[in-house]
Structure 1
Amino acid sequence: MSEAIEVINPYTGTCVGKVPRGGAAEVDAAVRRAKEAMQAMRNMPLHRRAAILKKTSQLLQERAEAFAQLITQESGKTIRETRAEVARAAAIFEYAAEEARRLHGETLPFDAFPNGENHIGFYLREPVGIVGAITPWNVPLALAAHKIAPALASGNCVVLKPAEQTPLNALRLAQALREAGLPEGALEVVTGYGEEAGDALVTHPDVGFLSFTGSREVGIGLPARAGYKRVALELGGNSPIIVTQSADIERAAEAIVRGGYAVAGQLCISVQRILVHRTVREVLLEKLIARIRQLRLGDPLDEATDVGVLISKEACDRVEKAVQEAVQAGAKAAIGGKRIGPAAFEPTLLTDVRQDMPIAINEAFAPLTLLIEFDTLDEAIAMANATPYGLNAGIYTRDIEEALSAANAIVAGSVMINEVPTFRSDLMPYGGRKQSGLGREGVRFAMEEMTETKVVCIQRLI
């Protein structure tokens, strides 16, 4: 297409680059090139795949500052956050290099059943072929790494559609992979809008596996439109953290602020609902307000900035409206609650929030946390489960029975004990329950999703 998409810095409002506005034709061409590279990737020895991934990790480390500066300009995240993201992406590629060497099946004891006498065999893990990857704008490089690295480690080709707000780092990553020795066509990047390029990738019949990270509203309808292909969905969240009577309040407060306002709250595992026992409400509230007050807003490229901007003016409009409606319904702003620029919103803590309020049910995706009181742990667990989401949850407690009860009863992909739900290790099986998604990420677990099992059985002629 001759049209271009402008990439806008959400802090300054200026254009930081332009990319092609790809659509169905560009996706189809990219898939054709990926198909031509499939045999080369499938036949590539594991040590060679590992070497390419390792070299990519090294290139990311060498170019870390340039990547961080670029992501900050595209996304409005603080420079400290984007430096951490680049380091994380480099670690994901390095870990994938290690896992590439461990891709294997195992032998099968056919003679464990009578009809299997004189049979021996094993199973292999083979690539699905082409992985379609659609990534979001909030963690654009690391989440691209979470899709690309395991796909390549397991011998697949990838067609990547990055978010239209943050495509420049994806193109730079593709360049690094080519420099690392990745065959032509093994990674294709198509820039464009979701309803054009993204939809074409979702429905393309030659894509064997679709990995999507984005909103619940978009993702929930993808399996029906994807056709006969496997689908992994990483969708939204509304992460609760339970703070019990026995909790270390000091540590809980510090972690909640860290987990609630990183990336201006624009993470699917940001702390949103703080479920606190009524007896420790006031002391926790005091400590939270003191820490939130210390957060510094400003230029995301400034080393001293703690909280950057939202991705767009429209996102800020949405947050402003949600907070106003909650206050009108009886919530109170203990701190913050106001817009301070076209795309900037104060770090906000609302109290007197009821679980039945829309702001407590829906995903905020903003620098916003909600304080809700409870009297019993069973009540807190019921509130933790009272949303359509089930991604990550957490509990702060010194009581092992409380911790285990919460871990058992909360419906979520992960339950963190004495840690906020914003914690994620890139090696863990990460994913959600309910409407938070399908499948699991984390290099080894993603490789399992992106491969097919083939059984080889041999009858001994004796």
Structure 2
Amino acid sequence: MLAADAVIAVHNPGTGERLGEVPVTTGDGLNAAIEAAQRGQRAMAKLPAHERAQLLHRIAAGIEKEQEQLAYLLAQENGKPITQTRGEVAAAIRIFRGLAGEATRIFGRQIPLDAVPGLEKHLAVTIREPLGVVAALVPFNYPVELYAHKAGAALAAGNAVIVQPPRRCPLALHRIAEIVADSAPEHAHQLVNGGPEISQGLAEAEGIAAVSLTGSTRAGKEIAARASRTLKKVLLELGGNDALIVCEDADIEKAAEAVVLGRLARGNGQICCAVKRVYVQDPVHDEFVDALLAQTSKLTVGDQLDERTDVGPLIAKEAAAEVEQAVARLVADGAKPRTRNNRHGAFFDPVVLTDVPTSSRAFAEEIFGPVAPVARFAEPEDATRMASESPYGLQAAVWTRDISRAFTMARQLDVGSVIVNGSTALRAENLPFGGTKDTGGYREGIHDTVTDLTSQKTIVVMDAFQ
């Protein structure tokens, strides 16, 4: 049983400096938050669409006013370089503003009943209404951006939202919650802190209408199982093991850059849609590896608050140790490390491996860190087959100058999105984002999520026509 005054201490993963603390939500506290959220939801549901839009615009303006401070705080607690956390906060601002527009575009339909004999004189329309209270379970890797997707969409649709921030980096979201509190109805937006007991409690609670989770496949299966007991809606965006395929006619330098920027130097490699597997066609394999090694050697690993840093510390020492173990498994299976494998605390120097056996179980796993394993392929259909054999299906990338080949391979890949001549580490807020199989099956984006956080009601007017 947790003490009522228990706290979660937050530290800089690179230096160990204590940055602050947040109170742990007890079981009674969680129940009280859920009960209060029912009142907050009723207040939100009463707001007309234009007022919900104005609410989201005010939140965006409040975040923008503190954009640099929030980016600095996020870099401190998360470990991503400051140059990247600035981009994340900017994305959150765009998302809130985009969702403000979506709040005014929640459309119903008129369904022609004259398609059914005997119903010609009647009129049927549908309307969309808020679901209720939404639980938003936010991961550590992009907490501010993914919070905006979940909490912003819930508010845009007229719901209340209860947010669980990540344990290791909750501080930026707590500051944003204060900004939201200045504009939102009381209890319409709340934060609860803790570990699996909190997320599981939200999944099981009768007073929660939907759960939105970005996290591991293991966590997603657990949340879905618990949520099924109350038949609530579950929106899952889970793991990924994204493949980047380099064909013999690709721009080799740019393809190598896509791996460096889309894996080794983006989010410290801790991104669900990062480039996690690289398949290179035999004729250009050696040229590609030379380009990849040359670009990797220029990366700077260090203090995430230094403007010159490309790769900061991972979220925790334990996370870096797990990446080190995953690399060791690849090497044990026959992969050759082409760079120095050096872990120091939460820091992990970017690693490139070649001759990776595609049958390796470690190659099939999601490695959450700056590691680029490179395998060979003979024909394009071999690459799409191997890429699709993964239990995950988030995104993939194809590098080729042949547009017909690109579309053919895109059709063959069992994933949610295919990027042609780019990195898999691409997410635009107005695109549907998500994937197949163990990635969860859901698609998140400002257009899709608002609709998914409403329920559809049909209204039939009898004898509406003469």
Residue 256 of structure 1 deviates from its aligned partner by 1.5
**Does the Cα contact within 8 Å between 2:330 and 2:363 map onto a contact in 1?**
no
From 337, 356, 363, give the equivalent of 2:341.
Answer: 337
Question: So what's the TM-score if we normalise by structure 1?
Answer: 0.98
From 131, 143, 146, give the equivalent of 2:146.
Answer: 143
Report the Cα distance in structure 2 between the residues aligned to 1:240 and 1:26, rounded to whole angstroms.
Answer: 43
* Pairing of 1:292-331 with structure 2 (within 5 A): 292-331=296-335
**Does the Cα contact within 8 Å between 2:131 and 2:455 map onto a contact in 1?**
yes
SS of structure 1 residue aligned to 2:418: strand
Moved more, 53-62 or 150-159: 53-62
Residue 460 of structure 1 deviates from its aligned partner by 1.7
Give deviations 1:69-104, integer Å, cap 9, x for gaps.
Answer: 111111111100100000000000000011111112
Give deviations 1:93-136, integer Å, cap 9, x for gaps.
Answer: 00001111111212111112213211112101111001011000
What is the letter of the counterpart of residue 189 of structure 2? Answer: L
Residue 173 of structure 1 deviates from its aligned partner by 1.2
From 260, 266, 273, give the equivalent of 1:269.
Answer: 273
SS of structure 2 residue aligned to 1:294: coil
Moved more, 104-113 or 277-286: 104-113
Q: Considering only aligned residues, what root-mean-square deviation do their CA atoms show, in Å?
A: 1.1
SS of structure 2 residue aligned to 1:446: helix
SS of structure 2 residue aligned to 1:428: coil
* Pairing of 1:160-239 with structure 2 (within 5 A): 160-179=163-182, 181-193=183-195, 195-226=196-227, 227=229, 228-239=231-242
* Pairing of 1:47-446 with structure 2 (within 5 A): 47-179=50-182, 181-193=183-195, 195-226=196-227, 227=229, 228-261=231-264, 262-339=266-343, 341-446=344-449
What is the letter of the counterpart of residue 128 of structure 2? Answer: R
Report the Cα distance in structure 2 between the residues aligned to 1:283 and 1:361, rounded to whole angstroms.
Answer: 25
Residue 249 of structure 1 deviates from its aligned partner by 1.2
Give deviations 1:320-355, integer Å, cap 9, x for gaps.
Answer: 11112221221111123221x111111111101011
From 6, 20, 26, give the equivalent of 1:23.
Answer: 26
SS of structure 1 residue aligned to 2:276: strand
What is the letter of the counterpart of residue 188 of structure 2? Answer: A
**Does the Cα contact within 8 Å between 1:22 and 1:196 map onto a contact in 2?**
no
**Does the Cα contact within 8 Å between 2:199 and 2:223 map onto a contact in 1?**
no
Residue 218 of structure 1 deviates from its aligned partner by 1.3
Residue 221 of structure 1 deviates from its aligned partner by 2.4
SS of structure 2 residue aligned to 1:212: strand
Residue 401 of structure 1 deviates from its aligned partner by 2.2
Residue 394 of structure 1 deviates from its aligned partner by 0.8
SS of structure 1 residue aligned to 2:348: coil
Report the Cα distance in structure 2 between the residues aligned to 1:64 and 1:439, rounded to whole angstroms.
Answer: 30
What is the letter of the counterpart of residue 108 of structure 1? Answer: I
Report the Cα distance in structure 1 between the residues aligned to 2:376 and 2:178, rounded to whole angstroms.
Answer: 51
What is the letter of the counterpart of residue 214 of structure 1? Answer: G
**Does the Cα contact within 8 Å between 2:333 and 2:357 map onto a contact in 1?**
no
Residue 316 of structure 1 deviates from its aligned partner by 1.1
Moved more, 102-111 or 133-142: 102-111
Residue 215 of structure 1 deviates from its aligned partner by 1.0
What is the letter of the counterpart of residue 323 of structure 1? Answer: V
Question: So what's the TM-score if we normalise by structure 2?
Answer: 0.97
Report the Cα distance in structure 2 between the residues aligned to 1:359 and 1:345, rounded to whole angstroms.
Answer: 18
Could you say which residue in structure 2 is the equivalent of 1:9?
12
Residue 438 of structure 1 deviates from its aligned partner by 3.0
SS of structure 2 residue aligned to 1:57: helix
Unaligned runs of 5+ in 2: none
Report the Cα distance in structure 2 between the residues aligned to 1:115 and 1:215, rounded to whole angstroms.
Answer: 51
**Does the Cα contact within 8 Å between 1:439 and 1:449 map onto a contact in 2?**
no
Residue 406 of structure 1 deviates from its aligned partner by 1.3
Give deviations 1:246-304, integer Å, cap 9, x for gaps.
Answer: 11112211111100121110000110111100100111111111111111011000000
What is the letter of the counterpart of residue 224 of structure 2? Answer: P
Report the Cα distance in structure 2 between the residues aligned to 1:251 and 1:71, rounded to whole angstroms.
Answer: 30
**Does the Cα contact within 8 Å between 2:131 and 2:454 map onto a contact in 1?**
yes
**Does the Cα contact within 8 Å between 1:337 and 1:349 map onto a contact in 2?**
no
Report the Cα distance in structure 2 between the residues aligned to 1:430 and 1:231, rounded to whole angstroms.
Answer: 16
What is the letter of the counterpart of residue 211 of structure 1? Answer: S
Report the Cα distance in structure 1 between the residues aligned to 2:237 and 2:340, rounded to whole angstroms.
Answer: 30
Residue 459 of structure 1 deviates from its aligned partner by 0.9
What is the letter of the counterpart of residue 221 of structure 1? Answer: E
SS of structure 1 residue aligned to 2:347: coil
Residue 411 of structure 1 deviates from its aligned partner by 0.6
Report the Cα distance in structure 2 between the residues aligned to 1:98 and 1:122, rounded to whole angstroms.
Answer: 23
SS of structure 2 residue aligned to 1:116: coil
SS of structure 1 residue aligned to 2:161: strand
**Does the Cα contact within 8 Å between 2:235 and 2:442 map onto a contact in 1?**
yes
What is the letter of the counterpart of residue 290 of structure 2? Answer: E
Report the Cα distance in structure 2 between the residues aligned to 1:336 and 1:380, rounded to whole angstroms.
Answer: 28
Residue 175 of structure 1 deviates from its aligned partner by 1.0
What is the letter of the counterpart of residue 201 of structure 1? Answer: L
Report the Cα distance in structure 2 between the residues aligned to 1:438 and 1:57, rounded to whole angstroms.
Answer: 29
**Does the Cα contact within 8 Å between 2:275 and 2:423 map onto a contact in 1?**
yes
**Does the Cα contact within 8 Å between 2:40 and 2:189 map onto a contact in 1?**
no
